[in-house]
Structure formats: C-alpha cells, structure tokens
Chain A
Amino acid sequence: MDAVLRAAAIYLVLMVLFRISGRRSLGEMTSFDFVLLLIIGEATQQALLGDDFSITNAVLVIVTLLSIDIGFSLLKRRSKRIGKLIDGGPTIIVENGVYLKHRMHEARVEEDDIMQAARLGQGVESVEQIKFAIIERNGKISIITQ
C-alpha cells in the first residue's frame, strides 16, 4: 500500500509543480534546467522508495506511476477540457508580424525567445517575416512564416 500511495503523491505533486512552473520552463530548457531536473529526480527518488530498496518495491512504484500516466492520458482523450487543463492549449504570440505583448507577458516569453526560435527553425531575420508564432502545448515556440 505504501508504495502506491508514495508514487501517487509524488506524481500529483510533481504535476502541480510543473504546471505552476509553466510550459516555458519545459520547452526552452537550458543546460542549467537540465541539471535542475536531475536534482529533482534525485530528491524524489528517496521519497518514492523510502527505506525499501527491493526489486518488488521498485516494480510497484513504476507500475503505479505508469498506471496513473495511462489513466490521465485516457481521461484526456475522453474530455478535451481536462486535457486542456492538464496540458494547456496552443497560444498565438505573434500575429501577422506583430508581437502580442500582453499574451507574451502573461506567458513569460520575451521577444528574444521568439526570434531565437524563428532563427533556429526557419532562418527568419525579422519579426515582419513571421505570420504566426505559437507556444505549443509542450512549451516549444513554433513559427509559421509569411
């Protein structure tokens, strides 16, 4: 029972925390963010396993985590609204060469972030060349040129 409760609690806490940190931090990951994720993994490991390092406990924790994950994916398929609550939806931040500043501010995205994504993906030089820039559900910025 312990293993299931631990795994479920950690899953839910991490889901809420990553929701709070925003998609921005997941999509545009720097090397420091990567190190941070490793530290988070290390910190949760002990809480997941407790003092029990048996194979059975590890299997139980993994099975619980996967079950919850599959459960949520099924729930998201059933209800579009729940899917949007968990993953968010796509948000347009540049429209016909114009920055939508209010949205960018809310989503914590800078002009430089958009232009970086535009240069990396499309070789775009200026914002006027962008028809749409969209923050996708995974946090990445996708660019559609004029």
Chain B
Amino acid sequence: MDADERQMQNRQYPVEEDICLQRRIWRFERLGWYVLVLIVVMTLCGLFSNGLLSTTTVASQQRDLIVKYERFHRSGAVNTMVIKSHGEPGAVHTLLIDSAQLEGFAIDSIQPQPIRSAGTRNGLKLTLPGDDHGDSILYLAWRSDGVGLYDGKISVEGGGEVPIIQFIYP
C-alpha cells in the first residue's frame, strides 16, 4: 500500500470519515466544473440565444420571403425577428404569421406599423406596403411567454412560406 492509498483510508478518530463517499463527492465536483465550463462555452456559441447556434436565416423557395430569427429563446426575454418580403411592385402584400408562433410569443414591438393587421383562425395577417421593387422589411420584437418547442411558419399570401422552429427555455 503506497502513501497516497494510506492517506485515503478512513479515520475513526477524532471524526468518523467516509472517504469513499467523499471521493465520490470530489469526483462530482470535478465533473461539475467541466459541465460549468461547457455551459459557458455553449452560451458563448449561442445555445441559450444570440449566437452562432441560435441566429439563423431562412428563405422561401421562391426567395420572396427571408426571415432572420433566433432558434433559442429564454422565457420572458425579448428577441428580434427581421422579415424581408417581396410582392408586386408598388402594391401591398400580406404576411401570415401562423398561430403556433403566437402561442409561445407575444409581439413586443413592430416596425414599421403594417397598413392592416387582422387576427384570423390561422394566425395574424399583416398587410405591408412594398417599395418600388415590391420589397418590404419588417422588424418584430417577440417576448417569449411559453416554454418548450414551437413549430410555426410565416408565409406571404399567394407566395412562399418558411418554417420557424424555436425553443424557449424556462
């Protein structure tokens, strides 16, 4: 038996030790430090919102709808979404944000204000003016209300659609 092993034997006096359990606790502590560092690194990478893993851009097949959003959210926090849409030049076009998105999130702010907005069975309809090329851009700030996975979609009426898959941490 070497010196290290002798050191790690239980003593009964002046206190009763349980070194076997204590060694397990020390191992747990060490493992815990690695987990903490991993959490910090993953946070920097965007696993808990705002970062490489979280920020994403999706486009419809027709390229008439491009949405930049965060995959990961924290309940109660606000995140932005940028929706670039394309319609007939000089005319209005309508965006449809489906109800799955509205179940987990509340709109905190919307810029610019749409010409019309209406709540329908399928979700929220926002009518936007296009510029001379038919393009419009909408900035939305969403406050996360729910918890869990939300599988929604945004579409241009009569045009393309994009899936919006988001996860809200408690």
Contacts and interface: CB of A to CB of B under 8 A. Distances in A.
A51 interface: yes
Given A9-B170, A91-B22, A19 B29 contact: yes
B21 A84 contact: yes
A107 B32 CA distance: 14
Contacts of A101: 7
A6 B17 CA distance: 36
Nearest to A89: B18
Given A84-B18, A85-B21, A89-B21, A106 B11 contact: no
Interface string B2-43: 011001100100111111011101101100110110000000
A97 interface: no
B134 interface: no
A92 interface: yes
Contacts of A50: 76
Give the size range of B's interface with the partner: 20 to 34
Query: How many A residues are at the interface, by size bracket?
Result: 20 to 34
A106 B26 contact: yes
Given A89-B18, A106-B26, A107-B26, A51 B76 contact: yes
Interface in A74-124: 81, 84-85, 88-92, 95, 100-103, 106-107
B81 to A, nearest CB: 22
Interface in B23-66: 23, 25-26, 28-29, 32-33, 35-36
B17 A92 contact: yes
A26 interface: no
Contacts of A27: none
Which of B8, B14, B16, B28 has the most A CB atoms < 10 Å from its CB? B14
B29 A22 contact: yes
Nearest to B15: A90
A103 B8 contact: yes
Contact of A20 (B7, B18, B22, B36): B36
Contacts of A100: 7
A134 to B, nearest CB: 6
Nearest to A93: B7
23 contacts: A16-B32, A17-B36, A19-B29, A22-B29, A50-B76, A81-B21, A84-B18, A84-B21, A88-B22, A89-B17, A91-B19, A91-B22, A92-B15, A101-B7, A102-B3, A102-B7, A102-B8, A103-B7, A103-B8, A107-B26, A132-B14, A134-B14, A134-B15
Given A84-B21, A92-B17, 10 more contacts: A20-B33, A21-B29, A89-B18, A89-B22, A91-B19, A92-B11, A102-B3, A103-B8, A107-B26, A134-B14
